Amino acid sequence: MREGRHGAALIDVRSVSKIFQSDGATVKALHDVTFGIAAGEFVSLLGPSGCGKTTLMMILVGLASADSGEIRIADRRISAPFTDVGIVFQNPELLDWRTAIENVLLQIEVRRLPVQEFSGQAKALLARVGLAGFENRFPAELSGGMKQRVALCRALIHDPGILLMDEPFGALDALTRDQMNLDLQHLWLEKRKTAVLVTHSIEEAVFLSDRIVVMTPRPGTIAEIITIDLPRPRALDCKDTPKFVAFTGHIRKKFFDLGVLANE
Amino acid sequence: MNDRAQSSASLPMLQKALAWTVRGVWIAPALSLLGCLAAWEAAVRYFDVPIYLVPAPSQIAGQLLVSYPQFLQATFSSAISIIVGFGLAVIVGIPAATMMIYSKVFRRSIYPILLTAQVLPKVALAPLFIVWFGFGLLPKVLMTFLISFFPIVIDSLIGLNSVRPESLLLLRSMGSTRWQAFWKVRLPTALPSIFGGLRVAITFAVVGTIVAEFVGSDSGLGYILVVARGNLDTLTVFAAILWLIAMGFLFYFAVEVAERLCIKGRAARRSHELGAGL
Percentage of residues in chain B with pLDDT exceeding 90? 50
**What CATH number matches the domain at A1-80+200-264, 1.20.120.720, 3.40.50.300, 1.10.10.10, 1.10.357.10?**
3.40.50.300
* A residues 202..261 contacting B (CB < 8 A): none
**Type of residue at B60:** I
- Considering chain A, what is the average pLDDT of its residues? 86
Percentage of residues in chain A with pLDDT exceeding 90? 23
Q: What is the pLDDT of residues A67-115, one digit of tens each?
A: 888 888 888 888 888 888 999 998 999 998 999 999 999 999 999 998 8
Cross-chain CB nearest to B166 (options A93, A97, A140): A93
Query: Any chain B CB within 8 A of the CB of A91?
Result: yes
Q: What is the pLDDT at residue A144?
A: 87
Query: First vs last Cα of chain B: how many Å apart?
Result: 51
Nearest CA-CA partner of A206 in A168, A165, A234, A172: A234
CATH entry 3.40.50.720 includes domain B57-275? no
C-alpha distances in angstroms, B233 versus A251, B52, B221, B245, B251? 88, 6, 14, 19, 27
Measured between beta carbons, the chain A residues lying within 8 angstroms of B265 are 96-99, 138-140
Q: What is the pLDDT at residue B156?
A: 95
**Does the structure show a pLDDT above 90 at B148?**
yes
Could you tell me how many CB contacts below 8 A there are between chain A and chain B? 63
Q: What is the pLDDT of residues B225-253, one digit of tens each?
A: 999 988 888 889 999 998 999 999 999 99
| Three-state DSSP state, A15 | strand
* Nearest-Cα residue of chain B relative to residue A162: B173
Q: Report the complex ipTM.
A: 0.86
Is-contact A10 A4, C-beta < 8 A?
yes
Q: What is the pLDDT of residues B186-223, one digit of tens each?
A: 999 999 999 999 999 999 999 999 999 988 788 889 99
**Does the structure show a pLDDT above 50 at B4?**
no
Measured between beta carbons, the chain A residues lying within 8 angstroms of B195 are none
CATH 1.10.3720.10 in chain B: give the residue spans: 57-275
C-alpha distances in angstroms, A94 versus A78, A107, A152, B263? 28, 11, 11, 15
**Does the structure show a pLDDT above 70 at A48?**
yes
**A28 membership: H or E segment, kind and range:** strand A25-37
Contact A87 B169 (CB under 8 A): yes
How would residue A1 be classed by pLDDT, with cut points 50, 70 and 90?
very low
**Type of residue at A16:** V
Q: What is the pLDDT at residue B1?
A: 42
Q: What is the pLDDT at residue B155?
A: 94
The string of DSSP codes covering B191-219 is: HHHHHHHHHHHHHHHHHHHHHHHHHS-SS
